[in-house]
Amino acid sequence: MRYVAFYLIFSLLSSKVFALDCKKDKFEETKITICTVSILTDDLRLYLRNKDGVPFGNFNALRQELNNNGKELSFAMNAGMYHSDLSPVGHFKEEFSEKKKVISTPGPGNFGMLPNGVFCIGSDLLNVYETLDYLDKAPKCNYATQSGPLLVWNNRLHPRFLKESKSKFIRNGVGTSADKKYAYFVKSEDILNFHTFARIFKEKLKLPNALYLDGKISRVYSKELNRNDFGWPIGPIVAVVRSKD
């Protein structure tokens, strides 16, 4: 019995522990998918182009390159708005290298609906910053992607969201915990307006800050759920990567 107990404890201590958890859920009448990631245990990164400088454009292309390098894709989601050439609309940083500078001025469309924000992946933190706050604090982000609008900022919904808005689409976004250790990626499976989508992060997940990533083309890859959404090519991708061994 002592040997069995020792073996079980040893196995638990020596095995890799991951916090990544993807599940189907519901908010009021809307079906959603939620994937929870921890900076403490999960290798979360941003991707745009392959080794030849060509945008991945989809999860399969990213998965193949990772496989060729002894890694596997566990989770992925489109991670910000992009132009027709798949380049990011706003600020983008990959492996400490800034690929595009921050855009801090108002503009057309959802991206320019200020306040917008930046999702930062640091060595020991995951956080959504309001854009001007990001510029002021200059956090050390290994990866960063800018999008908009902010869904929740300091526990408040974006001031321009209307409860009765008729503008409804499939949407996806990310929110971060108050301790900056967890990120919650949400994709709606039914159409909904900004107000309802933001309330998922504020009321259901109790998150102080959340950022809209995109809509219409929102997609998720989850090995856990055996899911691999496909469609039109996408730009930036956020992903949890693991070693094959």
Quick one: tokens of 96?
């400490």
Strand blocks (E) in 56-116: 71-78, 92-94, 97-100
**What value, to the nearest 5°, has the Cα angle with vertex 29 and ends 129 and 148?**
20
- Specify the residue for token string 């900022």: 153
Could you read off the pLDDT tens digit of each residue along the chain, which spans 245 residues?
A: 444 443 334 333 334 567 899 999 999 999 999 999 999 999 999 999 999 999 999 999 999 999 999 999 999 999 999 999 999 999 999 999 999 999 999 988 899 999 999 999 999 999 999 999 999 999 999 999 999 999 999 999 999 999 999 999 999 999 999 999 999 999 999 999 999 999 999 999 999 999 999 998 999 999 999 999 999 999 999 999 999 87
Residues forming beta bridges with residue 152, ordered by sequence position: 157, 210
Compute the chain's Rg from CA coordinates. Answer: 18
DSSP state of 200: I
